[in-house]
Chains A and B, each alone.
Chain A
Amino acid sequence: MTYRIVHKTTYKYKHPVAFGNHSVYLAPHSQGRQRCESYKLLVTPEPATRSERTDFYGNRVSFFTIQEPHEELAIEGHSVVTLDGEVSWPAQSMAWDEVARSLPLGLTSASLDAFQFVFESPRIKPKPEFAAYAAASFPSGRPLAEALLDLTARIHRDFEFDSKATNVRTPPEQVLRQRKGVCQDFAQLQIACLRSLGLPARYVSGYLRTTPPPGQPRLIGADASHAWLSVYCPEAGWLDVDPTNNLVPSQSHIILAWGRDYSDVSPVRGVILGGQDHKLEVAVDLEPRPVP
């Protein structure tokens, strides 16, 4: 399946902005089943400087500055992404407690990279309360892949999707208490649960296809960026799960970037001079096209 994606973010400032310095994570990953065929970043007004780097996690991050007064800033990421093949969910996997115990001891480059996602990050602090919630899904010796699906299903069942209940800064502790939130909150909560058990989990930012395939229900979290998570399982590799929709991402999820939590990969970020209040509009358009 090939997708043509347009992700447009528009800031309308109350007062002219004299100067702006921005970073964006809008370039889709090219890894595994996902291939980024093209990516273009359009910015209005035209930036004075642009640069691009690959960050520590392997994401493409773009930087630009606007050095002329402006009252509106439009950032458009245009990309074409192809998803090949099916997701192979492991029939068998290592016991979760064995993973937690042995991970620090193994030093392969893959497990070393995964190991960093065990620790606390700016927005996610492991705590006993998360471990306590997760415990029902993680009896001793249960295979990690199986326990993971169980926890995903429980979060989907116990938590209510409510876009009014939280904002981008709501900590997972509060989400756990109020049992409400959006995709970002559920992803961060599940990561907090897994890390509290000593398991490596990373935050994934991306898109979700909006129009359902014939005969299937429409998925929640569409029309904007989506977020889910990925867990490292030795031998099987990274396993993605989407607690918002209780499923394993396959043909409808496109990966933009991953990191320890939202703060590592927020799609658009900026430091501006002036502006005062602003209005923000985000529009994501995902157009599926059959593979030519």
Chain B
Amino acid sequence: MFADLFQIPFADPSVYNELASDGITPRTHWAPFINSLQNITPDELARRWERAERRIRENGVTYNIYGDPLGKNRPWALDPVPLLVPSAEWRYIEAGIIQRAELLNLILQDIYGERRLISNGDLPASLLFANPAFLRPLVGVKVQQSSWLHSLAVDLARSPDGQWWVLADRTQAPSGSGYALENRTIVADVLPEAFNTSNVRRLAPFFRAHRDSLLRLAKSDNPQVVLLTPGPYNETYFEQSYLARYLGFPLVEGADLTVRDRKVFLKTVQGLTPVDVILRRVDDSFCDPLELRGDSFLGVAGLVDSINAGNVTVANALGSGVIETAAIMPFLPGLANKLLGEPLRLPSVATWWCGQEPALRWVLEHLNQVVVKPAFPLSGMEPIFGADLANAETRNMSAKLRAKPHAYVAQEQVALSTAPVWDHGQLHSRSLVLRTYVLKTGDGWIAMPGGLVRVAGADGPVVSMQKGGNSKDAWVLWDGPVDTFSLLRRRGQPLELRRGSSDIPSRAADNLFWLGRYAERAECMARLLRCLMARVRRATGAELRCLVRLHACFDSQHDLLPKTRYSTPRDLEDELISLMSDAGRPDSLLSTIVELRRVGGQLRERLSTDMSRLVGQLADAASVEEYMLFIEYSAVLDGCLELLAAISGMERENITRGPGWLFMSIGRRLERAMYAVRQLREVTAPFDEASWPLLDYLLEVADSSMTYRSRYFTTLHPVAVLDVLMSDTTNPRSLAFQLSELAELYQKLPRQVPEDLKAMQHANALLAELDLGTLDYPVPGADRAGVDDGARAELDRSLCYLQELLRSWADNLSNTYFGHARTLPISIGG
């Protein structure tokens, strides 16, 4: 029974009801859908919907709400009941939004060209000059096929009399079409009966045209198109990665691209790939830190110059954000007549731009009837409903409008139409806004048949996904044949087996390299700290001096003796606590772990949940509370070391051996080698009998005490310690082991630089040739006379040389694979 399922509230005559004009009898075009829905029991629909919602979660369909305590990855909110649009009505909307796209494109062309509309007075000059989105460096550039707008989104609302009005134009980087696509695949799957019998126009042909039109914007025969994203923290990141996959273009961030020879390239570890077309979801002013916003990390330096040289096409063109403002709406009817020679088909909602004196006066007099919004984006101001303002607030608002009139627009508040929303077996009426999409193709403009419907929550008519609203699919019920082309793989098609690619983006490789380095650095630091902390309180005289020498191993520049800064245990203790927990010190353990977490966050698409969780836990484990007892610090360090061991275990056992793993392992080996060299240099430095305890510490820090004891029992000797920690290739903590691994790992990389491989092989050879037998050390109690320091000085020079070599080698690796820059030769000598 209809009434059992659908508890539709009585018609509210002040709004347009999409489903039924009287609130009871469905409109003609809804009847077949309602009939079809009635054949499904409420339980069945609930079961299907539960499955669909699970799929949304499993597919990771998310929408990031800024400032949400739940953080990122909020599941996408979707309603199973689509908005139905009959064919005649769709033809009206389609013609209206296509005309609008054509008009807005012509306006952009004029603004960045001759600006006749300004000099003739068709558009006020202040609308342009007060607008921070007017990007002067783009004035005069040639745009491929005059496509200033490659795509446009238009938000529509329906007033009580049934008329559709334009609420807003999205010209910057229109979002949401990917969500519309995802909504369609889910809703068509939940309601196959209704979908298959309703002759719904399909979305796939629109996306095919989207892909083809982007390819056609390129000048080369085999074009590379990329989708430029602001990154995982953007609200619509899911949609961007979904669209990129669906269209078959790589999803890239600004740091993945580089401009060389005035051309744009994609950086991967395999090399540089030329990029012809950039479909951008980054706001235009953030796209080039050299010529646009200098504080942006989302863009590519030199992009504007590359566009000027005609070497790359960006869609939508940089600068198109200038007309993403309601301030332009009052001028559109006149501009349509002037530029197109025809009246504007779809009206905009009544809008007053306060930058004009008469409009400002009208707005000030009617403040309680309008919604005040920022005229220009990026101002961060929320819309203000005049009707909600108290007297004092009205005066305040009026003052603001008078002080900076051109920064504000006022719009009539539209009584939005309502559509049914399904909620646990019942239908409720909710206000809606329909976002539609237009695309410029080689054969003119086309509209996406359908759109993204956004509906308000239960508590009011304000529609905003940022405020936790819901979304819907929109079905255009067609009266002609529909194209059933699909870009998705059909179910039942044979599966194609795939292995990991041998190529990854340079940015990911860079982050993985540093993940390895920071993880190892944290471990080396924690080991040193634990060894020092356990002894510093009771240390006296010679022992304290040994601890101070061990402490010097933290310093990457590693100055040799004398180290007189810490003359009392108390001084050293304070330094150790600071080194462990001072977040303001870049060389502290805590800062290193914070960096590790930051790099891990950049890699969130590439790390398993377990790995990400470990990295997160580490940051918690490393934080030290105020007034913590000194003895508790060891427990903190133990906790960190356990988590770090778990991370390195994951790295060995749970990551496929692709290029990503190689860079992570190289980072770890490199860092461990660097620490090993520093620690070993303390044994080659002036070393007398009082230095003997240092040997014990070094073995402990390198986790090699057991190995040593099993070979030499309790007899400590510097030469034997050097053998275990430096030359023994079977000890995974020795320097020789790291260097041999580095040479081996490097040979598995693509595009090796022969000189760099040679340098690492040379380092290995150098270490193998060192003759520890010639070293002469004073034995405790024995006479110091007759000890020859020559061989030791020689060894120290070699280690010093290795230290330099590792540093240059790391720079070259980073230039070759991450920065794609020429490398400097490494001096081979020593």
Contacts and interface: CB of A to CB of B under 8 A. Distances in A.
B308 A53 contact: yes
Contact of A63 (B129, B139, B305, B819): B305
B12 interface: no
B821 A273 contact: yes
Contact of B294 (A22, A49, A119, A269): A269
B393 to A, nearest CB: 20
Contacts of A122: 132
Nearest to A127: B403
B495 to A, nearest CB: 42
Interface string B258-282: 1111100000000000000000000
Interface stretch (B119-127, B632-640, B705-713): B119-127
A56 B129 contact: no
A27 interface: no
A16 B821 CA distance: 11
A69 B824 contact: yes
Contacts of A115: 125-126, 129
Interface in A88-142: 104, 107, 109, 112, 115-116, 118-120, 122, 128
Nearest to B357: A104
Contacts of B819: 18-19, 273-274
Nearest to A15: B811
B745 interface: no
B290 A55 contact: no
A22 B305 CA distance: 11
B185 interface: no
Interface string B105-130: 00000000000001101001110111
Contacts of A274: 815, 819, 821
B821 A104 contact: no
A21 B260 CA distance: 9
Contacts of A246: none
B532 interface: no
B118 A112 contact: yes
B119 A271 contact: no
Nearest to A115: B125
A116 B305 CA distance: 24
Nearest to A50: B262
B670 to A, nearest CB: 17
A68 B819 CA distance: 11
B130 A119 contact: yes
A271 B290 contact: yes
A48 interface: yes
B137 interface: yes
A53 B294 CA distance: 19
A220 to B, nearest CB: 29
Contact of B126 (A51, A65, A119, A270): A119
A271 to B, nearest CB: 4
Interface residues of B, number: 36
Nearest to B260: A67
Interface in A132-181: none
Nearest to A22: B290
Contact of B125 (A67, A116, A273): A116
Contacts of B132: 122
Given A53-B308, A69-B823, A21 B290 contact: yes
A79 interface: no
A128 B399 CA distance: 12
Contacts of A69: 815, 821-824
A23 interface: yes
Nearest to B305: A63
A271 B289 contact: yes
A23 B118 contact: no
B586 to A, nearest CB: 12
A109 B119 contact: yes
Interface in A8-62: 16, 18-19, 21-23, 48-49, 51, 53, 55-57
Interface string B291-316: 10010000001100100110000000
A18 B815 contact: yes
A21 B301 contact: yes
B129 A18 contact: no
A53 B118 CA distance: 24
Contacts of A49: 261-262
B735 to A, nearest CB: 25
Interface string B207-228: 0000000000000000000000
Contacts of A56: 136-137, 139
A269 B258 CA distance: 18
A55 B821 contact: no
B290 A269 contact: yes
A119 to B, nearest CB: 5
A129 to B, nearest CB: 12
Contact of B291 (A23, A48, A116, A128): A23
A51 B262 CA distance: 9
A48 B261 contact: yes
Contact of A118 (B119, B129, B305, B823): B129
A104 B291 contact: no
Contacts of A63: 290, 302, 305
Contacts of A55: 136-137
A69 B820 CA distance: 11
B137 A18 contact: no
A68 B261 CA distance: 12
Nearest to B120: A107
A22 B291 CA distance: 9
B259 A21 contact: yes
Given A51-B309, A56-B137, A69-B815, A112 B259 contact: no
Given A19-B819, A23-B291, A119-B130, A271 B301 contact: yes
A55 B132 CA distance: 17
A119 B260 contact: no
Interface string A253-292: 0000000000100000111011000000000000000000
Interface of B: 118-119, 121, 124-126, 128-130, 132, 136-137, 139, 258-262, 289-291, 294, 301-302, 305, 308-309, 403, 406, 811, 815, 819, 821-824
What are the 6 A-B residue pairs with the smallest beta carbon separation, nearest first? A18-B821, A271-B301, A56-B136, A116-B129, A21-B301, A119-B130
29 contacts: A16-B811, A18-B821, A18-B822, A19-B258, A21-B259, A21-B290, A21-B301, A49-B261, A49-B262, A55-B136, A56-B137, A67-B261, A67-B821, A68-B821, A68-B822, A69-B821, A104-B125, A107-B125, A109-B119, A115-B125, A115-B129, A119-B129, A119-B130, A119-B406, A269-B294, A270-B290, A271-B290, A271-B301, A274-B819
Given A69-B824, A112-B119, 15 more contacts: A18-B815, A18-B822, A22-B290, A23-B290, A49-B261, A49-B262, A55-B136, A63-B290, A63-B305, A67-B822, A68-B822, A104-B125, A112-B125, A115-B125, A116-B125
Interface of A: 16, 18-19, 21-23, 48-49, 51, 53, 55-57, 63, 65, 67-69, 104, 107, 109, 112, 115-116, 118-120, 122, 128, 263, 269-271, 273-274
